[in-house]
């Protein structure tokens, strides 16, 4: 006898059973053709961790509610040791812990932070979906080979979360909804095959779903306590009592039907903000707090395969904001390197007032420099040396100031003082100038005395070459009329001197040969 639709199970019977030949009138959805693997990251402490909590010795809690109904939403470990816990009323919390640091929950900042974390997560895959209020879904099937397998990818993701100062739990499953439900209940649960989902999901309590409290209470009243209990209910009756949406969610969790997710689009530039729990002028503490934003930006840059060349660090205080820009010799996406440069700059940077908030802007993104590779010769060593030289320039500029470290470029100009200019280190410049001139040119020519009509520099100078006449510059008001000579003093040092052709025809020292 054919079973009625109301008594059909959610899943087909196993092969070889009595019901194998029965054809249900409510067919089960077919499995999606494309195999997927979803990683869920749950930042469950995000309400607490959007604030910079560098002082772990002090109790800190986040409150939610209105008026006299304020209660603790989350608290740090020190507050927990003092007896504070979620749902504890504010008055009771103040009685248990002496002067705890407290902030009201900031859903807007939580959403902004989750968006930045989604941009960070795009370094692992181009399919990232935000699941408010604090979860991310990453489709990682196509990324496994690139990152060395599932275990290596999960380790790298967890390490990155820790480096940013956040806490997360993860789960992996073939469908996005099953990954969400597993992440709600079990930390580190990994299911790679869809055939294993019925057994794994059956054990989960209904609290792992995102169903409303009223629906869960209705099911509990019927004796339905787990997802496995739901799967044993008749499909038609389940849909009629709880709505077809719940049935579709069960099918989607088991991979019986596809479920669409909104793909997160990475913004063109990075902008991050972080509120400090206490205002400070301590440069070391500011660097530790800024590390979170820099680590976030590093993941953002990796998702674009780009670098920054002029990131701007902002320090907000009572009267406004101070901006500190780092100018790099070449684009970089290395968080450790950027933090080292920031620490160097802060040593000589004066903050006008104690800082309350931090801001980081990437500026326009730039292509990362490539490593040169020769067809026959090994040029990797030369490429590493060049990169190390550019990083040395950045470190020197951070310590001494941008204007203190420059490159020099020769110009096609006869006047020695105008035959060069400062350029960016490593900037290309055409070869110009006279190779017969000395490398060391005095910034201001030094006047020489004369004895018996001959120039004198710790003795009489012997002219060995010249003259080279330079008579130019009339168009810019710095005209010169000089005769240059190569001379040698009594100790054998070769110098470059000139005599003014205009009266009083004085002699000057202008350079020294090596």
pLDDT tens-digit profile of 137-185?
Answer: 999 999 999 999 999 999 999 999 999 999 999 999 999 999 999 999 8
Q: Report CA 494 to chain centroid distance, whole Å.
A: 55
Please, is 343 exposed, middle or buried when counting C-beta atoms within 10 Å of its C-beta (0-12, 13-18, 19+)? middle
Whether residue 293 contacts residue 272, with contact meaning beta carbons closer than 8 Å, is answered with yes
Task: Please tell me whether the peptide bond between 463 and the residue prior to it is cis, using omega within 30 degrees of 0.
Answer: no
pLDDT tens-digit series, residues 486-498: 999 988 899 999 9
Strand partners, 483: 469, 499
What is the C-alpha separation between 461 and 194, in angstroms, rounded?
93
Proportion of the chain above pLDDT 70, given as a percent: 87
Q: What is residue 496's predicted lDDT score, i.e. its pLDDT?
A: 93
CA pair distance 486, 428, nearest whole angstrom = 31
* DSSP type of residue 226: B
Lowest mean pLDDT among 3-7, 57-61, 140-144, 447-451: 3-7
**Alpha carbon distances (Å) from 60 to 81, 376, 490:** 11, 61, 78
Neighbours of 172 (CB within 10 A): 22
Q: Is 379 a residue whose pLDDT tops 60? A: no
DSSP 3-state of 338: helix
336, 389 Cβ separation under 8 angstroms = no
In the predicted structure, residue 6 carries a pLDDT above the cut 60 = no
Residue 378's pLDDT is 53
Q: Binning pLDDT at 50, 70 and 90, where does residue 129 land?
A: very high
Q: Angle at CA 16, nearest 5°, toward 15 and 21? A: 80
362-371 pLDDT per residue, tens: 999 999 987 6
β-pair partners for 508: 447, 498
Burial class from Cβ neighbours inside 10 Å (0-12, 13-18, 19+) for residue 191 reads: buried
Q: Is the pLDDT of residue 9 over 50?
A: no
Q: Please report which confidence band the pLDDT of residue 4 belongs to, taking 50, 70 and 90 as the band edges.
A: very low
* pLDDT the model gives residue 318: 86
Q: What is the pLDDT of residue 3?
A: 41
Q: Which long-range contacts (CB under 8 A, 24 or more apart) does 85-94 make?
A: 90/63, 93/61
Residue 401 pLDDT grade (very low, low, confident, very high; cuts 50, 70, 90): confident
In angstroms, the CA 303 to CA 125 distance is 8
Question: Tokens 């934003």, residue?
Answer: 293
Residue 353: CA count within 13 A, CB half-sphere: 9
Best CA proximity match to 306, nearest among 367, 265, 360: 367
> SS3 sequence, 94-118?
HHHCCCCEEEECCHHHHHHHHHHHH
Phi, psi of 85 (to 5 degrees): -160, 160
Structure confidence by residue, pLDDT tens digits, 235-279 = 999 999 999 999 999 999 999 998 889 999 999 999 999 999 889
pLDDT confidence of residue 19: 39
Token pair belonging to 445: 């020519």
Q: What is the mean pLDDT of residues 389-396?
A: 73
Domains and CATH numbers, the chain: 30-42+109-253 (3.30.70.270), 51-105 (3.40.1170.60), 273-367 (3.30.1490.100), 416-512 (no CATH)
- Residue-level pLDDT at 2: 39
Higher pLDDT, 430 or 146: 146
Residue 67 confidence (pLDDT): 75
- Contact criterion met (CB below 8 Å) for 397 and 309: no
Q: Give pLDDT tens digits for 296-309.
A: 999 999 999 999 99
Lowest model confidence (mean pLDDT) among 329-343, 387-401, 409-423, 456-470: 387-401
pLDDT value of residue 5: 38
The pLDDT tens digits for 174-213 are: 999 999 999 998 778 999 999 999 999 999 999 999 899 9
Counting DSSP H helices and E strands in the chain, the numbers are 14, 24
Q: What are phi and psi of 213, to 5 degrees?
A: -60, -35
DSSP 310: S
Band (406; pLDDT cuts 50, 70, 90): confident
Which residue from 369, 255, 370, 350 is spatially nearest to 309, judged by alpha carbons? 369
């Amino acid at each position: 006898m054919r079973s009625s639709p109301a008594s059909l199970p959610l899943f087909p019977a196993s092969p070889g059973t009595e019901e194998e030949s029965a054809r249900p009138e409510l067919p089960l959805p077919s499995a999606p053709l494309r195999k997927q693997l979803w990683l869920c990251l749950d930042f469950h402490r995000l309400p607490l961790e959007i604030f910079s909590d560098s002082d772990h010795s002090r109790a800190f809690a986040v409150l939610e509610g209105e008026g006299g109904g304020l209660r603790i939403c989350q608290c740090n470990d020190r507050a927990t040791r003092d007896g504070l816990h979620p749902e504890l009323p504010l008055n009771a919390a103040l009685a248990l812990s002496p002067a705890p640091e407290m902030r009201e929950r900031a859903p807007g900042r939580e959403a902004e932070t989750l968006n930045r974390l989604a941009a960070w997560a795009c370094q692992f895959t181009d399919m990232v979906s935000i699941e408010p209020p604090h979860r991310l879904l990453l489709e990682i099937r196509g990324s496994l080979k690139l990152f060395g397998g599932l275990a290596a990818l999960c380790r790298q993701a967890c390490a990155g979360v820790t480096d940013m100062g956040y806490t997360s739990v993860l789960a992996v499953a073939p469908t996005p909804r099953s990954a969400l439900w597993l992440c709600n209940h079990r930390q580190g649960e990994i299911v790679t095959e869809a055939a294993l989902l019925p057994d794994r999901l059956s054990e989960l309590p209904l609290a792992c779903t995102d169903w409303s409290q009223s629906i869960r209470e209705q099911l509990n009243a019927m004796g339905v306590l787990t997802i496995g209990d739901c799967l044993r209910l008749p499909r038609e009756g389940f849909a009629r009592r709880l709505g077809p949406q719940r049935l579709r969610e069960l099918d989607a969790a088991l991979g019986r039907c596809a479920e669409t997710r909104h793909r997160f689009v990475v913004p063109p530039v990075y902008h991050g903000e972080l509120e400090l729990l206490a205002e400070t002028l301590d440069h070391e503490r500011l660097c530790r707090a800024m590390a979170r934003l820099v680590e976030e930006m590093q993941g953002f840059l990796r998702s674009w395969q780009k670098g920054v060349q002029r990131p701007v660090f902002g320090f907000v205080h009572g009267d406004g904001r101070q901006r500190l820009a780092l100018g790099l010799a070449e684009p970089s996406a290395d968080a450790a390197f950027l933090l080292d440069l920031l620490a160097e700059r802060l040593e000589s940077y004066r903050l006008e007032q104690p800082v309350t908030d931090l801001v980081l802007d990437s500026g326009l993104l730039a292509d990362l420099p490539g490593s040169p590779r020769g067809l026959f010769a090994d040029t990797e060593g030369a490429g590493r040396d060049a990169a190390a030289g550019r990083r040395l320039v950045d470190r020197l500029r951070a310590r001494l100031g941008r204007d203190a470290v420059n490159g020099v470029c020769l110009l096609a100009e006869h006047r020695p003082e105008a035959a060069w200019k400062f350029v960016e280190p490593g900037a290309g410049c055409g070869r110009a100038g006279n190779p017969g001139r000395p490398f060391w040119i005095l910034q201001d020519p030094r006047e020489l005395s004369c004895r018996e009509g001959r120039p004198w520099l710790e003795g009489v100078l012997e002219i060995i070459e010249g003259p080279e006449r330079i008579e130019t510059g009339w168009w810019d008001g710095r005209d010169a009329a000089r005769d240059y000579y190569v001379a040698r003093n009594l100790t054998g040092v070769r110098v470059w001197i000139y005599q003014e052709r205009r009266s009083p025809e004085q002699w000057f020292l202008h350079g020294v040969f090596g």
